[in-house]
A and B are shown apart, each in its own frame.
Chain A
Amino acid sequence: MAFINFIKPKNKLEEGGRTAAPVQQDAGEPEKKCPNCRKDIPLSRLWANNLVCSCGYHFRMKARQRIQMIVEKDSFQELYADVKAGNPLNFPGYQEKAETVRQISGEEEAVICGTAQIGKEKCCLFVMESYFMMGSMGSAVGEKITRLFEHATKHRLPVIGFTVSGGARMQEGLLSLMQMAKTSAAVKRHSDAGLLYIAVLTDPTTGGVTASFAMEADIILAEPGATVGFAGARVIEQTTRKPLPAGFQTSEFVLDHGFIDRIVIRSEQKKMLAELLEMHRGGNA
């Protein structure tokens, strides 16, 4: 695997929807600049290629588009779509922010859960949404993922989860912290029942999600060039006052340090997941 050190574009919209204004495009077909190779790519081509540049750079992808890419046509049945965060601590500005993000992203929460078929196998699937407060985990995200694992345990189904998260949702304070323990306990029950869980880490997977269900899978895959880590790079720099090594906290870095199984490019993910599911059919029963 070639070592690629991608530059991470900062997208205000992903961080909570402060800039909702659409970017003005030049005349002709709209294009997007690849932060890695600096080429302008026509949007139609980028979409046809599942948001991967010809240089191999993986752009962030909306959860629903990802679901379409991964599951068999019309097989996805969404679960718990109504579960969304309130403002349990009356945290200043949280309600307004969440509502804005809901309008812009078209999603109620930072994770979409359901059942689906991949290849010939039925599974439970969760996909986190970077365009919803950067996939931060609050009570609703924890609740939905916990319910999904409980559903999978009850019906003896494998779970596939695509993670993307900036960490815990601080506007829910301790309640969001506790979701780490809650989801982990549900993963453990599913695991103890002899069932398969595959996590696919996408850009970025950090903080409380890394320190819970992202790192608890039987098989951990990752997209190339994704940021994967626990603490934020800036915090580490400030704490240690040392320059960070090249490629620090990328998929390639955590693969090298033994914490994930494989890096799988987007175009090969469906085939890989189908194959892995097929090889674990029925769990250990």
Chain B
Amino acid sequence: MSVAPYERVKLARDNSRPTGLDYIKNIFQGFIEFHGDRCYADDHAIVGGIAKLNGQPVTVIAIEKGHTAKERTYRNFGAPNPEGYRKALRLMKQADKFGRPIICFIDTSGAYCGIGAEERGQGQAIAENLMEMSTLCVPVISILIGEGGSGGALALAVADRVWMLQNSVYSVISPEGCASILWKDAAQAETAAASLKLTAEDAKSLGVIERILSEKDMGKKEFYERIRTLLTEELQELSDDVDLISKRYDRFRRIGEGAAKEQV
């Protein structure tokens, strides 16, 4: 059974999917939310704090889209501003200091395209996250749960392990955006979606992610339990690794190495 790439995009965007906070509440115990970037504001599109995973303290960060119309407006539809990325980095550095593993849940159409976002350095905020995450001393696992929109998603995904839900997508540009730029026709989004190779299977075969998570019983107790078990096991393995930072470097270093061909 195969689902067309553009259908995957629609599934990934579906309002009824569990959002970041659903994962936090159902996988971890005793979540304590921490707010603000200590610079400008508290971005409601990114939720972060500390919680326990099977008794172990961890830092959790999630891009939250909200479910109801009111929630979605409050969360800016999961499109973070620079202060969201700065809050996330602040919490990651806090985790680094106290030796807590970091788990990120990603679900965004992209970093917010706004006047204020540009004025406050959206590009700089993302750049700093990419740079700083590459040398965090603690294990980082990032899970794409819905949309993985470009740099705005990557800013929370410079991780040791990146996993994707079966019907989540991860892309450098939205298929509609790609179609309108390349073919001046947003209606060609289907073709773009297929060409961009944005499904979980594509990402895995390109070596961009390690694992695809099944959506069986999505939103039910069993679903979250399964993810909790996987996270616990993976963190166990990563915590024993003394070579974490250089392996994380190599993880990204090799991507696209073969695509950049050298002439003989």
Q: Which of B118, B135, B260 contacts A249 (CB 8 A)?
A: B118
Distance in angstroms from B189 CB to nearest chain A CB is 13
Q: What 1/0 flags go to B189-217 for Cβ under 8 Å of A? A: 00100011110001100101000000000
In the docked arrangement, what's the CA distance between A177 and B106, Å? 15
Answer yes or no: B173 CB below 8 A from chain A CBs. Answer: yes
Tell me if B178 and A211 are in contact (CB < 8 A).
no
In the docked arrangement, what's the CA distance between A214 and B112, Å? 19
Note all chain B residues with C-beta closer than 8 A to A235.
113, 177
Tell me if B154 and A177 are in contact (CB < 8 A).
yes
Interface window among B219-227, B235-243, B249-257: B249-257
Chain B: CB-nearest residue to A93: B182
Q: Which of A146, A192, A211, A232 has the most CB of B within 10 A?
A: A211
Note all chain A residues with C-beta closer than 8 A to B124.
210-211, 215, 259
Distance in angstroms from A122 CB to nearest chain B CB is 25
Tell me if A230 and B123 are in contact (CB < 8 A).
yes
Interface window among A47-55, A66-74, A83-91: A83-91
Tell me if B123 and A229 are in contact (CB < 8 A).
yes
Tell me if B113 and A177 are in contact (CB < 8 A).
no
Which B125-155 residues have a C-beta within 8 angstroms of A? 126-128, 130-132, 134-135, 150-151, 154-155
In the docked arrangement, what's the CA distance between A249 and B115, Å? 9
Tell me if A248 and B115 are in contact (CB < 8 A).
yes
Answer yes or no: B105 CB below 8 A from chain A CBs. Answer: no
* Partner-B contacts on A (CB < 8 A): 82-86, 88-89, 91-93, 138-140, 142-144, 146, 168, 170, 172-182, 184-189, 191-192, 207-208, 210-216, 229-232, 235-236, 239-240, 242, 244-245, 248-249, 254, 257-259
Given contacts A208-B172, A239-B112, A248-B118, 8 further A-B contacts (CB under 8 A): A82-B263, A83-B260, A88-B258, A138-B256, A173-B172, A174-B170, A174-B202, A185-B130
| Subset of 20 A-B contacts with CB under 8 Å | A84-B263, A88-B206, A89-B197, A91-B196, A139-B256, A139-B259, A140-B259, A174-B170, A174-B172, A174-B196, A181-B252, A185-B130, A185-B131, A188-B135, A211-B124, A211-B151, A231-B114, A240-B113, A248-B118, A258-B121
* Partner-A contacts on B (CB < 8 A): 111-115, 117-124, 126-128, 130-132, 134-135, 150-151, 154-155, 157-158, 170-173, 177-178, 181-182, 191, 195-198, 202-203, 206, 208, 248-249, 252-253, 255-263
